[in-house]
Every structure is written in C-alpha cells, then in structure tokens.
Amino acid sequence: MASSENPTSVEYIKHHLQNAQVCKTDEGWVWNHCQDAGFWTFNIDSLFFSFILGALFCFSFWRVAKNAKIENPGRWQSFVEMIVEFVDKSVKDTFHGRNPMIAPLALTIFVWIFLMNLMDLVPVDLLPWAASQAGADYLKVVPTTDANITFSLSLGVFVLIIFYSIKVKGFGGFIGELTLHPFSSKNKFVQVLLIPVNFLMESIGLLAKPVSLALRLFGNLYAGELIFILIAVLMSAGIGGIVGGGISYMIWAIFHILVITLQAFIFMMLTIVYLSMAHEDH
Amino acid sequence: MNINATLFINMIFFVGFVWFCMKFVWPFIIKAIKERQDKIAEGLAASERSQKDLELAQEKAAELLREAKQQSAEIVDSAKKRHAEIVDSAKGDARTEAEKIKNGAMAEIEQEVNRAREQLRSKVATLAVAGAEKVIERNIDAAANNDLFDKLVKEL
C-alpha cells in the first residue's frame, strides 16, 4: 500500500512500525540501516513530531499568555484557560506543598502527550505515504508509540522525584526512606538485618514508578496504533474488507479519542502524585 | 522497543518545554484567571452592597413619609385647636363688649332717671312750695322755710 509495490501483510506491518533512523556507523552517518548501530541511533521521525508538537503547545499557549484579556476573552483563550484551570485544580487537589514548578510541569505533560497521542488519529497511511513521495522510506507518526519518547518523559519525572526527595528530606532522609521502611524494629540488631530487605523493596518500588509510567503510555499507544495498522491491512481484502475496515477504523478511532485523553491524564496525574509523595516527609 | 540516543534528545526537549511553560506561559494565564475571578467577586459584592443600599434608602423614604404624615396630622390638629380658641376668644370678647355696652346703656339710663328724678324733685318742691303758698296764702318767709323744704326734698 505505502511504499514498495505489493507488500505482504507482514512486510506492511513491519514497515509501519519502523522508525526513520539516523545512526553513526563505520561509514559515517547513515539513514535507515541502523539494525547494528547500537545506542547512537536517533529516531528522527519521533524527535521531529515530538518537537513540532511540543513547540506547537508552547507557541499557542504563549500567545494566549501574552495577549490574555481579563474582560471578554476570546474562544481560544477560554479554551486554554479551561485546560489550565483543570490542570491547576488537579494539582491543588493532590499536591499540597509549595512548588511553582509542579503545575507548569503537569500542564506541559498533559498537553504535549495529548498532542503526541492525537497523531494516532491521523489515518495511518497518510503521512507515511506523503513522506514516501518526498523520498523518505520510513516514517512513524505517533511519537508516543516510540518507547524512547515515553521513557524520556518518565525518566525526566524520575530525576525530579529523586531531586525533590533529597531536597525536602535531605540526603539522609532519602536514604532512610529507602532503608528503614516498611519493616522496622526497636531492636537495633534486627533493624540492621532488615535494612537490605527494606532497601530491596523500596528501590524496586522507586524504580517501578518511571518504568510503569513509560510502559503504560507506550503499551496503550503502541497497541492502539497496531490495531489501526491491522484494520488498514483488512482494507486490502476486497470490497468487503474496505467497508468492514472503514467501519471498524471509525469505531476504533472514536474509542481511541477516549484512550489518548485518558493516557495523557493518567501520565499527568501520576506525575503529580509521585512528586507529591517525594515532597512528603514521614 | 529499542532504547537509543533518541531518549536523551527528547529529554532535552522535555526540559526546554517545561522551562518555557513555567517561565512564559503558566504565570500569565493564571494571573489573568485570578484577576478575572477577583473582578467578578468584586462586582458581585458591589451589587450586593447596592442592593442593601437600596433597601436602606427605601426604608428611610418610608420613614420620612411616615414622619411627614404625622407632622401634617399634627399641624391640622393644632390648626383646629387654634380655630376653636379663636372662636372661643371671639365669643368671650363679644360677650364682654356686649356687657360693656349694656352696662354703659344702663348707666346712662340710670343717669337719665336720676336727672329726671332731680328735675322732678325740684319741680315738685317748687310746685309744693307754690301750692303751699297758694294754700296758706300767708306771708311766709320762704327763706325761713327753705330748710324745711330741703329736708322734705331729701326725704323724697
């Protein structure tokens, strides 16, 4: 359907799940031959869409912030203020400390992830086809179906969790939180014996936060994208396939509106909760 | 799902966007919302205040009206009283005047009567003397008997 002539279903699916990559090999920087390149590979398409959408968010919201009218705000300003108030309320309900960074962070995460997820609703073949006309062999449109993107967000949050834990509780407090809970004893000797157990449990709990954040978003969007691709494959099966595929594509897209919003909201909410926990002193 | 250097580049984007949002977007939008909320609250308070003012003014107007009614009633009352007084005093004046006139008339009448009686008396005296002169026809010294006549006149 898209680039090469008459691909099999497997080839078609694989093609759609392949990022456009740039990597450094022995022959210098190359495009799309990065199977063995290892770590220094860049998923250009993910980065491109991620940056464009983030910049779109920043620019459109910045224009509202700059021209904010107190009396009779325009439609776009009202919409932006609605989102901002929604995020502000979520933050105030959950986060009780004083930190001017949490709310903007939550807003950025929510809108940015929502926009990246929204790319999932662009018909799967549209942009890759346009790119292939322009000479690019591979293009993956939805940045959040790339684990690199979701992990970059969750690791950013993870760094903040550790930073604020140490800032609020001190380094000793942070270590104490990792080693003295959940099991503790009055007996000093038993306490010392319990430290490795506590440390194991708490550090797994701590590491699970960014991993679960990233994998939840990635898994949901990857699965959603895959179903769109499978429906697109179905459409190649004659007239019945086109009708059935068209209907199921529409149904899945409508359902997906809920999924992408929900996933963006969950990511934001959990970020707030984790950072709120990092600010709490036991 | 292969992790590669994309992650770090996107993390830099992430930091950049959050920083931008924190610096140039969030505070201004929140400020605008806050100011509008304050303004609306102010407006509501003002309307409530003016409502209360209106009620107070209405109360005051009603009170003024009531007072004015009372005053007018008082004025009418006092006017009626004054009217009665004037009528009474006029009556009294008229009565005393009438009395005075009556008294004057009576006194005049009495004077007239007295004068008439005087005249009558003197005339009667002279008539009596003349009668007596004629009856007695004697030379009686009129002067010697004058005191007798006087006594007689007084007795009348």
Q: Is residue A30 part of a domain?
A: no
In this complex, the residue of A42, A62, A68 whose CB is nearest that of residue B9 is A42
* Cβ contacts of A71 on chain B, cutoff 8 Å: 36, 39
Note whether B32 contacts A81, CB cutoff 8 Å. Answer: yes
**Looking at this predicted complex, what is its ipTM?**
0.88
Q: Is residue A29 part of a domain?
A: no
- pLDDT, tens digit (0-9, with 9 covering 90-100), for A175-223: 888 888 777 777 888 888 888 888 999 999 999 999 999 999 999 999 9
- B→A contacts (Cβ < 8 Å), by residue, are 1-11, 13-18, 20-22, 24-33, 35-36, 39
> Which residue shows structure tokens 């919003």?
A261
Q: How many distinct structural domains can be found in chain A?
A: 1
How sure is the predictor about B141, in pLDDT bands with cuts at 50, 70 and 90? low
Residue A29 identity (one-letter amino acid): W
- CA A121 – CA A127 distance, rounded (Å): 11
Residue B33 identity (one-letter amino acid): I
> What local confidence, expressed as pLDDT, does residue B138 receive?
58
Buried b / exposed e across A212-247, counting CB within 10 Å, b at 16+? ebbbbbbebbbebbebbbbbbbbbeeeeeeeeebee
Q: Is residue A32 part of a domain?
A: no
Q: Which domain holds residue A116?
A: 45-279
- CA A138 – CA A232 distance, rounded (Å): 17
Q: Is residue A78 part of a domain?
A: yes
Buried b / exposed e across B100-124, counting CB within 10 Å, b at 16+? eeeeeeeeeeeeeeeeeeeeeeeee
Token pair in block for residue A54: 């983030």
Active-site residue identified among A216, A236, A248, A276: A216
> What local confidence, expressed as pLDDT, does residue B144 receive?
67
Q: Is residue A64 part of a domain?
A: yes
Q: Is residue A10 part of a domain?
A: no
- CA A35 – CA A124 distance, rounded (Å): 24
**Rounded alpha-carbon distances, angstroms, from residue A1 to A8, A12, A135, B35:** 9, 8, 16, 55
Share the mean pLDDT of chain A.
88
Q: Is residue A237 part of a domain?
A: yes
Q: What values do phi and psi take at A159, rounded to 5?
A: -60, -40
Q: What angle do CA A205, A206, A212 make, to 5 degrees?
A: 80
- pLDDT, tens digit (0-9, with 9 covering 90-100), for A32-75: 777 766 778 888 889 999 999 999 999 999 999 988 888 888 89
The whole-number average pLDDT for the span A12-21 is: 82
Note whether A39 contacts B5, CB cutoff 8 Å. Answer: yes
> What local confidence, expressed as pLDDT, does residue A30 receive?
75
User: Percent of chain A, pLDDT > 70?
Assistant: 97
Q: Is A43 helix (H, G, I), strand (E, B) or coil?
A: strand
What pTM was computed for the model?
Answer: 0.75
In this complex, the residue of B22, B29, B33 whose CB is nearest that of residue A101 is B22
Q: Is residue A24 part of a domain?
A: no
